[in-house]
Amino acid sequence: MWDEATLNMLVQGVVETLYMTIASTAFGYIIGMPIGILLVTSAKDGIRPCAWLFKTLDVIVNITRSIPFLILLVAVMPFTKTIVGTSIGSTATIVPLTLSAAPFIARLVESSIKEVDKGIIEAAQSMGASNFKIIYKVMLPEAKPSLIVGSAIASTTILGYSAMAGFVAGGGLGTIAINYGFYRYEKELMFVTVALLVIIVQVMQAIGMKAAGISDKRK
Amino acid sequence: MSEAIIEINSLCKTFVTKDRQVNALNNINLTINKGDIFGIIGMSGAGKSTLVRCINMLEKPTDGTVFFDGTDLTKLSAKKLREVRRSMSMIFQQFNLMMQRTAEQNICFPMELEGVDKKAAKEKAKELLKMVGLEDRAKAYPSQLSGGQKQRVAIARALATNPKVLLCDEATSALDPKTTTSILKLLKDINKRLGITIIIITHQMSVIEEICNRVAIIADSQIAECGRVEDIFYKPQTAAAQKLVYPEGKLTDKLIGKRCMRIVFDGNSSFEPVIANMVLECKAPVNIMYADTKNIDGKAFGQMVVQLPQDENLAKKMFSYVKAKGLSVEEVTGYVG
């Protein structure tokens, strides 16, 4: 089974998996990060309390987070098709992955920023900082180590979801594992793909923790 | 030097919770003059932290006005208010430095907000670090500094925008006594050298005695007493003030029913050992029942209660001796604080 074609397929699987994970994480942050920030600032004890905005975002995030990924994947297929032009393959999988990652990321960002000491924010207010400056000069830099840990969690979770997309020909290692291991009972190949997924998760997690450690000046 | 910089008129602050209203501040009137080191003292929960936050509008007052340098802050737009806040800095009990920035970067922060050129800001930060005695810790992160050093960085940061007023919210409450003294010294120095008006919120009478020239005592959401530190210290009028000046429990019932003399030191005979001389003069011992005297700016303030000898004549002699020294005395048979 270890012919060149199989190896090429595995390499391509790894590349596709990384592509889906990185792209979905990036898009997920583009959507989720502002939502997370707004959840903090509009909360009752935030720098600009706004009950209706907080409630709306809170409910949307909760609803989208409670939809199982596989169902979301299938449900948004028409939407995916209009955006990407197809509903199979790794590029198409990025759409449901992003939609499912965004609310999760919003919560991660929210909890990271909430860790920032209220006193530091009050100090910035006492110095005449506008809310916008408080967000990008105080909240985000102060929460940076925690945000980095969050991004490691987000990307590894998204990686796991991307493998799930293998069921609907989503591309990447997940598809290989399902096609060979699940449908054809080629256990060896399935184990290899699973091992590759484990290694990728390990590496991403290690990089995230290391980066967070380096950026944290609290110790 | 008696030009007002902050004028608080009938200020009220009410917090509304789900089931009740809390009057945190009730009809506060205060005038703080340029160059003052003004103390605001009260027990915890008296409303002093709310009061200081109403001065820079971190808390919006429910009613009343706060004039700063002639402008009514309660009427300003958010944008104008942010500008005003730059000339009214604040330091905190927990220092509130940004943990992911070095000491230098922390000091540069308010200048970044103002849009000061980076190089100029760094220069200024260096100068300020030198002033607070931390020129060698510019690159240190707050986690690498001691409490006193953190507060020094916070003071330097507060001075970066050349403020007119420095608000100190329990700035020394998290520090040990020695560090407290050194921070107070630094504040006094800043007041003298830069002419910055300082407002100090504290629950420690010792802080007020050490550096303030005027004081307001806040109790039950109201100003109980306000005036020169010497006056309040010498003759506290209200129960709230007395509680702070004579810490509870010192005037015990041991004094009741005995012939005692209360001597009040109000700053005139500071270097003279009055009691010792009196004993030598009258050739009779006295029993010191209670003493709480302090040296403020080289003058003695405080009070002492001494038990007098049984002999009527000796006691009378002692009374007149102390009176002759210009101290006020009174007989305190059965006196309770």
**For B100, which of A123, A129, A144 is closest by C-beta distance?**
A144
Instruction: Report the interhelical angle of A90-114 vs A77-84 (nearest 10°).
Output: 110
With H, G, I as helix, E, B as strand and everything else as coil, classify residue B251. coil
Task: Provide the token pair at B26.
Answer: 């009730």
The residues, ordered by sequence, that sit 6+ positions from A53 with a Cβ below 8 Å of its Cβ are A38, A42
- pLDDT, position B37: 96
CA distance B157 to A129: 14
| Terminal-residue alpha carbon distance, chain B | 37
Q: What is the pLDDT of residues B169-193, one digit of tens each?
A: 999 999 998 999 999 999 999 999 9
Task: Provide the token pair at B132.
Answer: 């607070």
Q: Which residues of B touch A120 (CB under 8 A)?
A: 96-99
**For B113, which of A127, A217, A219 is closest by C-beta distance?**
A127
Residue B216 — φ and ψ, nearest 5°?
A: -120, 135
- pLDDT, position A167: 81
Q: Which residues of A touch B99 (CB under 8 A)?
A: 117, 120, 142, 217-218
CATH 3.30.70.260 region(s) of chain B?
Answer: 253-331
CATH 3.40.50.300 region(s) of chain B?
Answer: 4-245
* Alpha-carbon separation of residue A70 from A85, A177, A208, B83, B199 (angstroms): 20, 17, 27, 53, 61
Q: What is the CATH number of the domain that holds A119?
A: 1.10.3720.10
Q: Which mean pLDDT values do the consecutive 10-residue runs of chain A (219 residues) have?
A: 84 94 97 97 95 97 93 92 90 94 97 96 95 96 97 95 85 87 84 92 95 91
Give the mutation candidate from B49, B56, B73, B99 for the A interface (greatest A CB count, under 10 A).
B99
Q: Which residues of A touch B100 (CB under 8 A)?
A: 141-142, 144-145, 215-218
Count of domains in chain A?
1
Record the pTM: 0.81
Q: How far is CA B18 from the centre of its chain?
A: 34
Task: Provide the token pair at A156.
Answer: 């590894």
Measured in angstroms, the CA of B155 and the nearest CA of chain A are apart by 12
Classify strands B71-72 and B287-296 as parallel, antiparallel or unpaired: unpaired
- pLDDT, position A188: 87
CB contact under 8 A, B113 and A144: no
Q: What is the pLDDT of residues B75-130, one digit of tens each?
A: 999 999 999 999 999 999 999 999 999 999 999 999 999 999 999 999 999 999 99
**Closest-CA residue to A173 (of A161, A183, A185):** A161
- pLDDT, position B74: 93
Query: What is the CATH number that goes with domain B253-331?
Result: 3.30.70.260
Task: Provide the token pair at B194.
Answer: 């830069």
Cβ pair A190, A31 in contact under 8 A: no
**Closest-CA residue to B131 (of B153, B110, B116, B103):** B153
Low-confidence ranges of chain B (pLDDT < 70): 1, 246-258, 268-270, 333-337
- pLDDT, position B337: 42
The residues, ordered by sequence, that sit 6+ positions from B118 with a Cβ below 8 Å of its Cβ are B108
Query: Contacts from A128-131 at CB under 8 Å and sequence distance 24+?
Result: A128/B81, A128/B82, A128/B83, A128/B84, A128/B85, A128/B86, A128/B110, A128/B113, A129/B82, A129/B113, A130/B82, A131/A41, A131/A47, A131/A48
* Interface predicted TM-score (ipTM): 0.89
**Closest-CA residue to B106 (of B115, B95, B92):** B95
Q: Which residues of A touch B85 (CB under 8 A)?
A: 125-128
Can you spell out the DSSP letters for B113-178? Answer: HHT--HHHHHHHHHHHHHHTT-GGGTT--GGGS-HHHHHHHHHHHHHTT--SEEEEESTTTTS-HH
Q: What homologous superfamily is domain B4-245 in, according to CATH?
A: P-loop containing nucleotide triphosphate hydrolases (3.40.50.300)
CB contact under 8 A, A119 and B94: yes
Q: Structural domain of residue A10, as residue ranges?
A: 4-215
